Each structure stands twice: as C-alpha cells, then as structure tokens.
Amino acid sequence: MSINSYVDGCSYWLSHEPDSPGTLDHDVLARIHYGTDLTATQDPRQINVALPQMGGAPVAEVWRSRRSVEHGWADGLGYAHNGEVLFGHVRLDEPELVDLVRATTRAYLRIDLLLRQLGYPYWLRMWNFLGHINHGEGDAERYRQFSQGRHNALALKPGFESRLPAATAIGTQEGGMTVYFLAARDPGAQVENPRQVSAFRYPPTYGPKSPSFSRACLKQWTDARHLFVSGTASVVGHRTLHPGDLLAQLDETHHNLEALLGQAGALEPAAGPFRAAGLKIYVRPGHDHPELLPRVRRLFGDQVPLLCLAGDICRRDLLLEIEGLFT
C-alpha cells in the first residue's frame, strides 16, 4: 500500500511506502528507513534510524520531488535538493559524543554552514535521534546536554527565537546520534501552542538551556502549504500531565494538536482546516497498549497514514509523542 499526499503548488511531497531496500528512484529527495536492520548504501538520500516499527507491514518515509533532484556529500553530511527544498542528514557515532554538548553544537554548526553554502538558509524541520536519551542524572542527562548544545549553536543567530524550526527529539536503544532536516530557500512561519509554554521559554527545571524548537512551522508555497508539526506530547503549560497513563496522554496530545492547528489556521483563515497527510507516533518501549491504535484511528480518522515507532521520549514521564505533516 502506498499513500501519497500530493500537494499542488509545491514541488515535493511525503509518502509512506513499503519498506523494501533497493536503489532509489530519481525523484526521491530522502528515504528514511526505520528499523534496527541497517540498509547499507552510499546514496546520500538514504537515511537509517534505529527505531523498531510497531504493528503492520513496515513502511518507509519517502519524500519525493516533482523537480529534478541533485544530491551529494559534503563534510560528511548527505544532502539532496530540488531548487525549493533541501533534505540533509548527519550521523555521529557514540565515540564522537564523549562531550555531547560540544558535539551537538558542532553538528548544528556544520548543518548551518551546509545550508548557507547550498542556498537553503531557512530551517523548517529537524529530526533528532539520540542513543540512550534519558541516561544521566539531572543536568547530566543526555537529552539536556543535547538541548544545551543545540541552544549554543542556534542562539548565535540574531532573533533566533522567532525563526526556530519544528523538531522531534527521540531516543534510540543504539548509541550515536542521527539528525536529519529539511530547509528552504525562503522562510516558514513559526507557530506556538496556546496550551503550552513555548519550549524555548521552559523554566530551568527542565535543563540549563531550554529546548530550541517551535511547536510547528507553516510553509506557504506558491499555492499550497505544509504545516510541519513538532513532536507533541502530554505537556500543558510546561508540565507533564497523566504520568504513567498512555491513553490519557494520547487524549491530551490530541487536545494539544487541535489547539495548535487552530493557532496555525488563524494565520491563513481563508485556507480552510488542516488535514493530516501523515502522522508518526512514538511510544516508549514496553508501553504499547492494545487500545492505542484503535483510539488513534478514532481521534485522527481511519484514512490517515500512520507510522508507529518504539522510541524513548525525551522526558522520562512521557510515554507517547505524535508528530505530523498537515496540509
């Protein structure tokens, strides 16, 4: 089964396709393989993320382009672009993460340099996968160190808190860090959630430097739009609600997503309601529940393409996180 989400007026789109290894078509910008079986390839458009898929036949996240795609490697970063958007990724193995704060800052600065050199200076969306994300106590927790390193890099940009990309940060059972990202020639609009304190304003109880991401990024193309929605969880204000209760966290997350879509919709009232082109659901390993997927279907609709992954959420009391692309 292949579910495409075509958007007119922009030259690329997301589809979830059967996960079969092989050479990539010319029109592929990026293909993200989720699973612990690595697919070895030198193609810079192929991205591997070591998270097991849950339930059903495995699918890959594939971003395709209607314009011709150029791709390559630069400074160890893989990239592909089509004149409108750029996908890229970088992989750091565990030995490179001894000083995680510094390693993250350097990785983010390398990404920024690549984006400026290739002419796509506007960050839209970042996906961060970090091994053992909850290891370490207090501010030595790996997630908090990652956050600090990311902040150190992004805060170098003047006015950075009004140009933050949407983001996901999820833990893997394997070590190392994989970051993949989407950037554009022209900026998107940052969207925040009225039910949530902006992550970049979280109090220091969540770490010495607040997480540098926006709740969503709205990109207006010629006559179409993409709303990149960050990983969204059961956080209201800045607190976790319903610790230990997966289904209650799902309901709260749905509530948060509705509020966010309302906020984004107010930016372009004439464009009508947003529709989910694809959702990704992350569940902390060992916390799956037979009622989860039926309830997701009830809340978000039978037809929405889903990708369910077993991964650690960056706060220890969170069991679930949902991200998505809306049009």
- What amino acid positions are annotated as catalytic residues? 321
Stretch that binds ligand 3EB, among 23-31, 47-55, 164-172, 183-191 (CB under 6 A): 164-172
Options 131, 149, 231, 311; binder of ligand 3EB; rule CB under 6 A: 231
User: Which residues from 94-133 bind ligand 3EB, rule CB under 6 A?
Assistant: 128
Among 30, 199, 216, 279, binds ligand 3EB (CB under 6 A): 199
What CA–CA distance (Å, rounded) separates 133 from 136?
Answer: 9
First to last CA, the chain: 21
Cα–Cα distance, 227 to 165 (Å, whole number): 11
Q: Which region among 90-98, 100-108, 163-171, 268-276 touches ligand 3EB (by CB under 6 A)?
A: 163-171
Between 15 and 145, CB nearer to ligand 3EB = 145
Rounded to the nearest 10 degrees, the angle between the axes of helix 292-300 and helix 246-265 is: 20
Rounded-to-integer distance, Cα 226 and Cα 218, Å: 6
Q: Does 314 contact ligand 3EB by CB under 6 A?
A: yes
Stretch that binds ligand 3EB, among 21-29, 39-47, 100-108, 229-237 (CB under 6 A): 229-237
SS3 142: helix
The one among 49, 51, 229, 235 contacting ligand 3EB by CB under 6 A: 235
Quote the least distance from Cβ 240 to ligand 3EB, whole Å: 9
DSSP structure string for 29-93 = EEEEEESSS------TTEEEE---B-SSS-EEEEEEESS--EEEEETTEEEEE-SSEEEEEEEE-
What DSSP character marks residue 27?
Answer: T
Is 240 an interacting residue with respect to ligand 3EB (CB under 6 A)?
A: no
Report the interface residues with ligand 3EB, using CB under 6 A. Answer: 128, 147, 167-169, 199, 211, 213, 230-231, 233, 235, 314-315, 321
